[in-house]
Structure 1
């Protein structure tokens, strides 16, 4: 039980940062390109409470961490926050600007992954520091969750960010047809998750990205 509490404590901050900054980035980008919907809803905020979804931000990630810890494995975390409201019709160039608004969230995860990598390197350089090991574990968790969210959200399936990016890049006709998948996107994602297909797709991408991060910090 003590090990479980320690693991949950280590993962809590990286998960909150990853989800909060991801969603806030969407709001900032939408405002920049002309849509104030997220700002008016109070969602352009670094306050995690404004973005937390009880099921996707707390319960599901907590259960994954708990089960993985008790089983003696490393968690492949999965979760979500309350989506930031964006009215794409209010963007100055709706179809073109949709790409940048959608890409802002994964870009935030990319930046955070590198920031956690730098912190991980700093922790390794401070072996005599009593906080070095917890810091290294938290930084490792930060790299893991941001890597997963980066590639998960870039998966080309509406309403994920990758799906919206695809809609933005496709010609008008195919884009309209592809966007019709959105109501079924989340059930499709769950099927891919529980059948292991999603893990087979994302696993190698996350592993390669972790290797790139290790190279970046000189490991």
Structure 2
């Protein structure tokens, strides 16, 4: 994102829209993501997150400063991981997979809701988003907001520790493979950080993000268009 800002491909209104969208994600959506992990764990019988004050939407309980800065400057970020004890689940591997799945699903849900709101406004005020700078800025905000949420979901689906995708993958792996990946989690994490900051994942993540974003956009547009035609 910094490269786009400094290259001049973003104008002032785009920068404002991007920053507002990212701050909303840091202070609302990342906590929602972590709350989803904690909530599913609680439903499945693990009270660890609740006992540590993580079953909450309070951003203070979830924000990781490095992850927040990465979200602002790189477009990918993270919050403090929610403590989950799989031994409290009747089926540990399945329980962990469901808890892990809840986080990215929360991001996709947030993106979908944002797109629905955008389309409602677009149908209610069809010319507003295209005829003045404020309208264009608000439109850019929704684009950045939805894109960042989908990017976070796609990023977290990567099956590399410590991302959520690895815990989903663990449900299908033998315990020896899980132990191996867990043992070398630090190495996997460093490799992941390197790929993020060098852009090594940009093409793959961008392709997946665009595909899912287009799908969610169609899913959000259809009901809004249906009701708009009724009235």
TM-score by length of 1: 0.84
What residue number does 2:122 align with?
A: 124
Q: C-alpha distance in 1, partners of 2:116/2:164?
A: 26
Counterpart position of 1:60: 70
The 5 A counterparts of 1:25-104 are: 25-57=36-68, 59-64=69-74, 77-104=75-102
Measured in 1, the distance between the counterparts of 2:106 and 2:138 equals: 21
Q: Does 1:182 align with 2:192?
A: no
Which ranges in structure 1 are unaligned for 5 or more consecutive residues?
Answer: 65-76
Alignment gaps of 5+ in structure 2: 1-10, 226-231
Q: Distance in 2 between matches of 1:10 and 1:164?
A: 28
Counterpart Cα distance in 2 of 1:193 and 1:43? 27
> In structure 2, do the counterparts of structure 1 residues 85 and 109 end up closer, same or farther at CA, with 3 Å as the change threshold?
same
How many pairs are equivalent? 206
2:210 counterpart residue number: 207
Point out the more displaced range, 4-13 or 203-212. 4-13
Q: Could you tell me whether the CA contact under 8 Å between 1:119 and 1:136 is conserved in 2?
A: no
CA distance in 1, matches of 2:17, 2:157: 31
The alpha-carbon distance between structure 1 residues 135 and 81, as it changes in their structure 2 partners (threshold 3 A), is same
TM-score by length of 2: 0.80
Distance 1:133 1:126, change over 3 A: farther
Q: Answer with 1 or 2: which has the greater Rg.
A: 2
Would the alpha carbon gap of residues 187 and 25 (structure 1) be closer, same or farther in structure 2, given more than 3 Å must change?
Answer: same
**Structure 1 residues 103 and 7, CA, compared in 2 at 3 Å: closer, same or farther?**
closer
